[in-house]
Structure 1
């Protein structure tokens, strides 16, 4: 493919789909959003107000049967992700899918097999990677200025009350596929694995402590990474306000993110060296980093690069999706058994076909 290829996109789901739309519209030479599908047609019209030629529909089959659509972007309730992804791949579409990806490792492996058989790409949504703070980390890591990772702490402390759960599928096993580790902490866990490598072992405590719902809204999780680094993840939906934070102690540098709950990768990260000489080297490298496209703008640019075989494109892929699903599976199993769970997880695992009780 050459760099002039333009992809037609259909977005299914006009909630978070509005943010996806902004990401595509930032690159008008690369994408054209030609269809937006939502049961609430007025909501779809609202996000498409600046796209006079965009088709608005409430019918998913109309999207899937359109020969002009190249990419189907799925922003639906979680329990619908797997069947719609499979249908989209069956009719020859590339797929972008919001979190949580699907509801089991078995479904993940079916998606991987289907994408391979039809020759199409599937991109899970992990937009936290596209932020200046995380990109600064990547630069210092590439330059060898961090050293060995020792420990890390993650905080996902958000505020979710009754109004949030007024949407009937939220807080349910059938609709949301799980609780806060599936929905609210997925992105920060992905960011941690990007910084520290894959997870090797997990111990976990989960509980419903804040809201009268089916799924967990608090968690205390410990992880041992394949690199040897040790990580703790504290999660609650009972905080006053929303905040997320990452703090990692490396051999030569301690990194701390800002507190931005939805843009933590783009926040005001600090990089504090053990000595003044090393600090000067870090500051000199960080001063060279150019402005980058953040969140969905950056993600959609990276997806385009992958679809056009750009050499440096590296958007989230199915390997990332599977490790995310492995981690969720491991956390639920560790909590329910009271035993440490190791990764990777294969098809013989008792929760391979799903973690719903």
Structure 2
């Protein structure tokens, strides 16, 4: 694989902008060769702002370009699966925004297509690559934290009429769901990367903020594989946009509270509350790592490039995306049935084919 990877960005909206910002400091490793959007105004503006030489109206146009190595899918979620399949069949690597797709069945279908392609898929879960989260993960992996007891998460976001002016939002067919698949999914993946996965899920959800068909408020309780517990509360009706995580371990507590206008939840600084001076020394040593100059999207792209160069697994895989989709499935199933859903969900079980109402 050549050192400078040629990319095509598919979808020239806000998600495409965020990817471009993450790629900006990695110009020695990536070149965005083309952008795709069905709106000529949107793709022209995008190309002009970022100096992208090729504009295309359809995915097929860039898949025919021999010099494109990777297709980055930043479209509304309902298009993710068919576009990823099309790109893999054309022999391209795929980077795809969340949620990857709408069911465990379709993730398994992508696995089959990937197994027959020279291309591979990397789902986007940038929160796990926050510089603070990476240090906390190292501390947990070292064993110095002791066993995990309880984690509490509060996701307080604001989404109103302006947000839902885009016709694809707020619908199961196109956005694939509400806050569980859009605003909360990154935090769930971050938790899985630190203390997961879950083995049982109980949840409630409702639509209380906006006149939409998907949920915009929810609470959930998770029992993790090690027996520890996680609670999540989320709303899109908060006056102030904040996220809070508190992780209680046997020997230490980690905390992070952010205002979304100025901070990112997985970045430093996390508050570290050790039980003793001896524990503090162990935790400090475990978290004393040489930081990458990149975080979030930049860090995930940095590791993606390294994986392409070495032929090793991507930093986020289809297995990671499947675990995320399984958790989302369980959240919807539990809210509808009023019962606890136990994981894993089998191929013959409720929800394997999707969570959208029939």
Is the TM-score greater than 0.5?
yes
Structure 2: how far apart are the matches of 1:159 and 1:51?
29
Deviation at 1:284, TM superposition (A): 4.6
Structure 2: how far apart are the matches of 1:228 and 1:144?
16
Corresponding residue of 1:14? 12
Secondary structure, counterpart of 1:118 in structure 2? coil
- Deviations 1:301-332, CA, capped at 9 Å, x for gaps: 11111212276x75111000000110011111
Structure 1: how far apart are the matches of 2:255 and 2:211?
34
Corresponding residue of 2:211? 212
Of residues 315-324 and 255-264 in structure 1, the stretch that sits farther from structure 2 once superposed is 255-264
Structure 1: how far apart are the matches of 2:251 and 2:237?
35
Closer, same or farther in 2 for the Cα pair 1:80/1:288, shift >3 Å? closer
Deviation at 1:221, TM superposition (A): 0.4
Corresponding residue of 1:99? 98
Deviation at 1:5, TM superposition (A): 2.4
Matched, 1:290 2:288: no
Structure 2: how far apart are the matches of 1:339 and 1:326?
16
Is 2:92–2:118's contact at 8 Å kept on the other side of the alignment?
A: no
Closer, same or farther in 2 for the Cα pair 1:145/1:356, shift >3 Å? same
> Unaligned regions of 5+ residues in structure 1, if any?
none
Secondary structure, counterpart of 2:173 in structure 1? helix
Closer, same or farther in 2 for the Cα pair 1:50/1:167, shift >3 Å? closer
Closer, same or farther in 2 for the Cα pair 1:107/1:157, shift >3 Å? same
Deviation at 1:20, TM superposition (A): 1.0
Secondary structure, counterpart of 1:22 in structure 2? helix
Structure 2: how far apart are the matches of 1:188 and 1:275?
29
**Aligned length, in residue pairs:** 354
Matched, 1:328 2:331: no
Is 1:24–1:297's contact at 8 Å kept on the other side of the alignment?
A: yes
Structure 2: how far apart are the matches of 1:259 and 1:71?
33
Is 2:129–2:296's contact at 8 Å kept on the other side of the alignment?
A: yes
Secondary structure, counterpart of 1:259 in structure 2? strand
Structure 2: how far apart are the matches of 1:269 and 1:37?
38
Deviation at 1:53, TM superposition (A): 5.4
Is 1:13–1:75's contact at 8 Å kept on the other side of the alignment?
A: yes
Structure 2: how far apart are the matches of 1:119 and 1:288?
35
Deviation at 1:241, TM superposition (A): 2.1
Secondary structure, counterpart of 1:266 in structure 2? coil
Structure 2: how far apart are the matches of 1:53 and 1:302?
23
Q: Describe how 1:1-357 pairs up with structure 2 within 5 A.
A: 1=1, 5-15=3-13, 16-49=15-48, 51-52=50-51, 54-261=53-260, 263-309=264-310, 315-357=315-357
Secondary structure, counterpart of 1:96 in structure 2? strand
- Deviations 1:31-66, CA, capped at 9 Å, x for gaps: 111001112333333333365452122222212222
- Deviations 1:44-102, CA, capped at 9 Å, x for gaps: 33333365452122222212222221100000001111111111111111100001110
Deviation at 1:189, TM superposition (A): 0.2
TM-score normalised per structure 1:
0.94
Structure 2: how far apart are the matches of 1:260 and 1:267?
13
Structure 2: how far apart are the matches of 1:106 and 1:54?
37
Is 1:106–1:352's contact at 8 Å kept on the other side of the alignment?
A: yes
Structure 2: how far apart are the matches of 1:51 and 1:164?
25
Is 1:102–1:108's contact at 8 Å kept on the other side of the alignment?
A: yes
Structure 1: how far apart are the matches of 2:246 and 2:117?
41
